[in-house]
Amino acid sequence: MEEKNNRADKRILLGSLLIGFGALFFLKSLDVFDFNFTRIFFSWPFFFLVIGLYLLLNTNRKTLGGILAALGFIFILPRIFPSIDYNNSVIFAILLIAIGLYIIVNQRKRTETENDKFGQINRDIIDDIAIFGGGTKIITSENFKGGNITAIFGGSEIILKGCKLAEGTNVIDILAVFGGSTIVVPSDWNVVLNVTPIFGGFSNKSIKDPNKIIDTSKTLIIKGLVIFGGGELKTYF
């Protein structure tokens, strides 16, 4: 069921993008406005817009997705309508507001307590964000349920050797943009990779221990999107 929903969400995103592209070309053919293809589609605002829409439609990181999509939409308008122009002070103000909103909303959602000593975090759900940086985190949990990993121009190593997987299906949702993450899991975990790479990749370097029995009643699904980035899954014994 999880994989079916994931594929459906990706089709919705693709369909939405095609509709948007088609609308732009239609308006251009009617001479409603003129635009340069490369000026729009190969720009950082368009990049933010696509990433934001993906997060809104395909993950539970609605706040980050909404902010990125809004930024992309705001800053792509001058590329579509040349009459619209933002000066540097307006751009700076918008970016500050966006960052402030994300920090406030994200902080309110953090209900788990963290113990940062020696890089250890005690909780059942991970929410790791690495932007222009990163590090190594050792997760300890008796009932690990997955979570979110975001790497934008940065990366992190998530070590789950101190964890026991929760019953049923658990999901780690990854977003890597010009960055990447390494996830280290116990060799007896049942792990399913479902990561979509675009100009990137996510490799499976896990090795199963033949002396251990895989508990199929507990599954970890690693899904998400990797754009101009990478990542890998490893195991420890």
Summarised one tens digit per residue, pLDDT across range 152-183 is: 888 889 998 878 898 899 999 888 888 888 99
Backbone angles phi, psi at 34, to 5 degrees: -115, 140
Note the helical H segments in 59-160: 62-80, 88-108
Report how many domains make up the chain: 2
CA 177, CA 174: separation in Å to the nearest integer? Answer: 10
Asked if residue 227 and residue 124 are part of one domain, the reply reads yes
Nearest Cα neighbor of 158 from 140, 143, 179 is 140
What is the extent of the structural domain holding 80? 2-108
Looking at residue 35, the DSSP 8-state letter turns out to be: -
Task: Give kind and range of the element (H or E) at residue 16.
Answer: helix 2-29
CB 120 within 8 A of CB 111: no
Asked if residue 207 and residue 161 are part of one domain, the reply reads yes
Asked if residue 37 and residue 7 are part of one domain, the reply reads yes
Asked if residue 136 and residue 231 are part of one domain, the reply reads yes
CA 230, CA 103: separation in Å to the nearest integer? Answer: 26
Residue 180: strand, helix, or coil = strand
Asked if residue 74 and residue 16 are part of one domain, the reply reads yes
Q: What is the pLDDT of residues 62-114, one digit of tens each?
A: 777 888 888 888 888 887 777 777 777 777 777 778 777 766 666 555 544 44
Angle between helices 62-80 and 44-58 in degrees, nearest 10: 150
Least trusted range by pLDDT, from 54-58, 212-216, 227-231: 54-58
Asked if residue 228 and residue 123 are part of one domain, the reply reads yes
The average confidence (pLDDT) of the chain is 76
Last residue of a domain, one of 108, 139, 162: 108
Sign of CA pseudo-dihedral 171, 169, 194, 73: negative
Asked if residue 221 and residue 124 are part of one domain, the reply reads yes
Question: What's the rounded mean pLDDT across residues 130-158?
Answer: 85
Task: Give kind and range of the element (H or E) at residue 4.
Answer: helix 2-29
What's at 24, amino acid-wise?
L
Backbone angles phi, psi at 209, to 5 degrees: -85, 115
Asked if residue 211 and residue 146 are part of one domain, the reply reads yes
Last residue of a domain, one of 83, 108, 133: 108
Q: What is the pLDDT of residues 38-60, one digit of tens each?
A: 677 767 788 788 788 777 776 66
Asked if residue 68 and residue 133 are part of one domain, the reply reads no
- pTM: predicted TM-score of the whole model, two decimal places: 0.60
Asked if residue 204 and residue 125 are part of one domain, the reply reads yes
Last residue of a domain, one of 108, 132, 151: 108
Looking at residue 200, the DSSP 8-state letter turns out to be: S
Asked if residue 139 and residue 63 are part of one domain, the reply reads no
Asked if residue 130 and residue 229 are part of one domain, the reply reads yes
| Beta strand extents in the chain (DSSP E only) | 120-122, 125-131, 134-144, 146-152, 155-165, 168-177, 180-186, 190-198, 201-204, 218-227, 230-236
| Selected residue with higher pLDDT from 132 and 235 | 235
Position 220 scores a pLDDT of 92
CA 201, CA 132: separation in Å to the nearest integer? Answer: 19
